[in-house]
Structures are given as C-alpha cells and as structure tokens.
Amino acid sequence: MLKKVVVVLVLLCLYTCEEIIAVEDISEMDLTILAPTNNATLDNTAINFSWQPIEFADSYQLQIATPNFETPLQFVEDTLLTGSNFTKSLLSNEYQWRVRAINSAYETAYTTQNLSIED
C-alpha cells in the first residue's frame, strides 16, 4: 500500500512540476505600439514611449538609436522594462526605436518605429 501511495505522489509531483515549468510561447505574437506613432514629428523632448502589454510577457526590451538601427551613429537607450511604457528626454534629431516582449523562454520580434524631434 505504501508503494502505491509513493508512486501516486511521485506522479502527481511530476505532473504538477511540469505545469509550473511550462512557459507560453510568445514568439509569434505581435507587439502593438501606442505612442509615439510611426514617423511622428514632435517638438517636446520628453517622450513617453508606450505599447500594449502582451499576455505572458515578463519584460520588454526597448532600444533607441539615432538615426536608425541599420546605420546607427549612437545607441541612445537599451533597457529592460517590466511595464509597458518608458519616458526619455531626447535632443532634436532623427531616431528609430524598437521594443520586443520577453519571457523566460521566448521573445517576440522587435516592432520598430521612426521618430523626429524638432526645436
């Protein structure tokens, strides 16, 4: 009888542990940008970057480069965030920014937007 109880407990533990370890695959999900919109031209230097949160994402990686990521002169920001917004003061210039969602096993593709800051 004791062996049966032990076997049941071991099987239950394995099933329960597998459920705890399972991580949702977010790699095919699309991240939606809320602001600033693509090709926005702003005269305010304090920019609030925001996007819709993705279910099962633990964090978000936000990067900002000038003038773009193909030929960057400078990476202005590269940060890992737990929320779905970030405020950064930027100088007048052309920028490209991107964000992706991350969990412990998967990440989405970057969603990239262009941004101009003018005096």
What pLDDT, in 10s, does the model give residues 60-105?
999 999 999 999 999 999 999 999 999 999 999 999 999 999 999 9
pLDDT at 44 over 90: no
**What whole-number distance in Å separates Cα of residue 71 and Cα of residue 3?**
66
Residue 18 is predicted with a pLDDT of 47
Give the residue with greater pLDDT, 108 vs 1.
108
Q: What is the pTM of this model?
A: 0.81
CA distances from 7 to 13, 17, 56 (A): 10, 15, 33
**Beta carbons within 8 Å of 35's beta carbon, 6+ residues apart:** 48, 49, 50
**What whole-number distance in Å separates Cα of residue 38 and Cα of residue 112?**
8
Instruction: Determine phi and psi for 9, rounding to 5 degrees.
Output: -65, -40
**What whole-number distance in Å separates Cα of residue 5 and Cα of residue 48?**
57
